[in-house]
Amino acid sequence: MSSSGRYMLYHGLLLPTVVHTEQSLSYARDFSVQDTDVFAVTYPKSGTTWMQEILPLVLNGGDLTPVLTIPNWDRVPWLGTIKMARVSEHLPSPRALVSHLPYHLLPRSFHSSKAKVIYVTRNPKDVMVSSFHFHKMASFLDDPGTFQEFMDKFLAGEVMFGKWTEHLKSWRHHELGDRILYITYEEMVQDLRGALRRLSSFLGSNLSEEVIERIAEHCCFKNMKTNCMSNHSLVPQDLMDLDKSPFLRKGVVGDWKNHFSPEQEARFSAVIDAEMEGEACSFP
Ligand code: PPS
């Protein structure tokens, strides 16, 4: 447990105690993964909530009922959370889950299953900006301090779920073959319909253009912002103060340019580039 009590240490990672316990994490480790399960994996603030909206629709052929009637944390739960332990038995098949965990901490049974993974990456500068604002409005996270102080913590991995670079690397070094699809937040912002077609093909959903259109329309930023099942307005204000910063805040690419000084940008890029050196992957 951290000195503030807001985080616990799990295999070297800081996890928020508001939604994680030793028991909920142990439940996830022993969770019985089915071949039809789909995991959307993200480093925090990379498009998790968006995937919680998209996945049920791609898997059920575009029926809006679940996304209009079930809160996102019950509909597509976070692996390892207290909620997930409560709702996983009741999820419709094929089940969709989200996770911020690194590859090696997925359930043991995941590795011998045929379950699929969608790994969403987002430009780390935009991730950090989104996270900075999230830390200001979420009372269950430590105060971020100044933007510079938060950047130091982010680069050192002293934030929930550790270093962005370690997360990315863990999900590049695996033996999943064609069980994993890489997609970027930027690609989804630029061409959501195209991204939905890729998801549909990867998951074998065979969606018609009409259904793709319906899903794209429902999952655009403007519409998700008004869906109380997805915009976190059901969370008590003492946990998330949406007046300080909405959860669906801006939903754009490149907001980092409004936050980083040239010096901060240079240092941030130098650290990330050095840690990603030798990795045969590009990132947004
Ligand atoms: S969390 O806390 O890890 O679950 O956060 P996560 O959902 O991964 O990331 C939140 C950011 O995703 C943006 N978002 C969207 N952008 C565009 N279109 C849609 N539909 C959408 N839904 C969520 C959300 O606004 C956060 O980004 P910022 O930059 O803060 O706006």
**pLDDT at position 281 over 80:** no
Per the annotation, the verdict on 173 as an active-site residue is: no
Q: What confidence tier does 283 reach under pLDDT thresholds 50, 70, 90?
A: low
Which residue is closest in CA terms to ligand 1's atom 10?
Answer: 45
Helix (H) / strand (E) containing 126: helix 124-137
In angstroms, the CA 142 to CA 210 distance is 44
Q: What is the pLDDT of residues 234-263, one digit of tens each?
A: 999 999 999 999 999 999 999 999 999 999
5 within a domain of the structure (yes/no):
no
Q: In Å, what is the CA distance from 210 to each residue of 98, 119, 200?
A: 26, 26, 13
126 within a domain of the structure (yes/no):
yes
| 0.85 surpassed by pTM | yes
- Find the mean pLDDT for residues 39-57: 98
- Among 19, 50, 123, residue to substitute to test ligand 1 (most atoms within 8 Å of Cβ): 50
2 within a domain of the structure (yes/no):
no
10 within a domain of the structure (yes/no):
no
58 within a domain of the structure (yes/no):
yes
Q: What is the pLDDT of residues 86-126, one digit of tens each?
A: 999 999 999 999 999 999 999 999 999 999 999 999 999 99
Q: Which numbered atom of ligand 1 lies nearest the CA of 223?
A: 20
Which residue is closest in CA terms to ligand 1's atom 14?
Answer: 251
Q: Is 255 near ligand 1, meaning CB less than 6 Å away? A: yes
- Among 19, 20, 43, 45, residue to substitute to test ligand 1 (most atoms within 8 Å of Cβ): 45
Q: Which numbered atom of ligand 1 lies nearest the CA of 133?
A: 30
Dihedral of alpha carbons 59, 61, 62, 67, sign = negative
**Predicted local confidence at residue 2, as pLDDT:** 80
Percent of the chain with pLDDT over 70: 99
**Predicted local confidence at residue 278, as pLDDT:** 87
- Among 101, 221, 225, residue to substitute to test ligand 1 (most atoms within 8 Å of Cβ): 221
Specify the CATH number for the domain of residue 200: 3.40.50.300
What's the domain count of the chain?
1
In angstroms, the CA 52 to CA 73 distance is 8
Residues found in the chain:
284
Q: What is the pLDDT of residues 128-187, one digit of tens each?
A: 999 999 999 999 999 999 999 999 999 999 999 999 999 999 999 889 999 999 999 999
1 within a domain of the structure (yes/no):
no
Q: Is 49 near ligand 1, meaning CB less than 6 Å away? A: yes
Query: What is the domain range of residue 193?
Result: 15-275
Q: What confidence tier does 201 reach under pLDDT thresholds 50, 70, 90?
A: very high
Residue 252, Cβ density class (10 Å: 0-12 exposed, 13-18 middle, ≥19 buried): exposed
* Distance, C-alpha 153 to centroid of its chain: 19
**pLDDT at position 66 over 90:** yes
Q: Is 132 near ligand 1, meaning CB less than 6 Å away? A: no
Query: Is the Cβ–Cβ distance between 159 and 29 less than 8 Å?
Result: no
142 within a domain of the structure (yes/no):
yes
Query: Is the Cβ–Cβ distance between 129 and 259 less than 8 Å?
Result: yes
In angstroms, the CA 176 to CA 159 distance is 27
Query: Is the Cβ–Cβ distance between 17 and 9 less than 8 Å?
Result: no
186 within a domain of the structure (yes/no):
yes
**pLDDT at position 284 over 70:** no
